[in-house]
Amino acid sequence: MKVTFPHLGTMHIFCKAIAETAQIPYVVPPETSRKTLTLGALHSNESICLPFKIILGNFIEALQLGADTIVMVGSGPPCRLGLYDLVQKVILEDMGLRYRWLTIPPRLTWQAIWKNYEETKELKKELSWKNILLFPYGLRMGWKKMMACEALEKLAMKVRPREVQKGETQKRLKKALSGVDEARTLRMLDETLQRGTALLQETEQDFSRAPLKIAIVGELYTVMDPHINRGVEQKLGELGAEVTRTSWFSTHILRSLRKNKADQTSERIRFFEASKAYLGYDVGAECNLSIGEAIVRSQDGYDGVVHLMPFACMPETTASGILTRVGKDWDIPILTLILDEQEIEGRIQTLLEAFVEMLQWKRKAA
């Protein structure tokens, strides 16, 4: 058995940690590249959303490298994400690739646990007692690594707009993240996190700057994965903006475990409430939150909002229609970027540069 999982931001780091700690053989799919996207797009329909194409590409590449078991977090209605597995399974089968599929239940319901039990029945036979015993430790390791990655990324978002040498923060972040990836024990992880934090903090910074504040909102794959959004977070940071976002793995995991106590989750409730002025119902996925966050950020004194969505994304299409009005009503500039498979990195750079300049003018005029 060789497990694999899709790429999404730093997810490969902690998925790998779980497998490694539990001593389960795994294959990390090659980093999402032009080739991944081309493969995914070639084997799907043009109007299917971008995350589908990229995840499919990751799976194809991983299976070609010898993986045989796909582990994927399940999802449900109302948007297409909940049926990715139904369609991706027939595509892989039709391509003649052999695989087994293991769904991690997104919500702990009896149905989901039963399905998971059914799927894992065969797989469990291939696991040794050692794998099973080590698994809880693996989960803990994975969770800690996830939190470490998030802490480093959040810190980088603060340092980036103040860096003196452009690109320095990104280099240091990369180094710090690979340190996390390499840590084998919880103690090593603690040390490496401290080292990484220090590394980022030691970046030469100009503290006299007052960076623009920009919130990134939108569909979660496009917000969380730099390959899908062509590095929007880094680009904005290097243009001198302090970026925030509320989509993190921990937010979504805590939310699905219904641990509402966490701050991030209660923040999401605040966004949802704010969206009610425009939307009378939960449209699904991040739609209402994109709208609500734009409103709340405007109240919080942010300079602008960047809204990310895949081309033809169902919930975010509704959001983008409403956001046009939110921007006017709340006097906050909102830039919607629609992402698809085309080579549009240059265009995104141009749009972001112009957006940042516009926000600077607006600030000066105020």
Which two structure tokens, joined as six digits, stand for 293? 């966050």
Answer left, alpha or beta for residue 182, where phi above 0 means left and psi between -120 and 50 means alpha: alpha
d(CA 33, CA 45): 19
Residue 301 binds another protein (CB under 8 A): no
| Near another protein by CB under 8 A: residue from 4, 10, 21, 44 | 44
Q: Round the CA-based radius of gyration of the chain to a whole number and report it.
A: 21
Residue 349 binds another protein (CB under 8 A): yes
Q: Centre a 10 Å sphere on the Cβ of residue 349 and count the other Cβ atoms it contains.
A: 15
Which residue is it, tokens 């470490």?
Answer: 148
Listed residue (343, 349, 317, 323) closest to 335, CA to CA: 323
At position 219, the amino acid (one-letter code) is E
What is the pattern of x (binds another protein, CB under 8 A) and - over residues 150-179? ------------------------------
| Near another protein by CB under 8 A: residue from 68, 120, 213, 284 | 284
Residue 27 binds another protein (CB under 8 A): no
Write phi, then psi, for 121 (nearest 5 degrees). -50, -50
Name the strand (E) or helix (H) holding 278: none
Q: Which residues contact 300 (CB under 8 A, 6 or more apart)?
A: none
Name the strand (E) or helix (H) holding 42: helix 34-42
| Near another protein by CB under 8 A: residue from 261, 281, 306, 363 | 281
Residue 300 binds another protein (CB under 8 A): no
Q: How far is the CB of 345 from another protein (least distance, A)?
A: 11
Q: Which is nearer to another protein, 136 or 167 (CB)?
A: 167
| Near another protein by CB under 8 A: residue from 60, 93, 179, 330 | 93
Residue 232 binds another protein (CB under 8 A): no
Which two structure tokens, joined as six digits, stand for 364? 């000066």
| Near another protein by CB under 8 A: residue from 1, 2, 68, 89 | 89
What is the pattern of x (binds another protein, CB under 8 A) and - over residues 308-337? ---xxxxx-xx-xxx-xx-------x---x
Residues that bind another protein (CB under 8 A): 30-31, 33, 35, 44-49, 52, 76-80, 82-83, 85-87, 89-91, 93-94, 101, 278-285, 287, 311-315, 317-318, 320-322, 324-325, 333, 337-340, 342, 344, 346-351, 353-355, 357-358, 361-362, 365
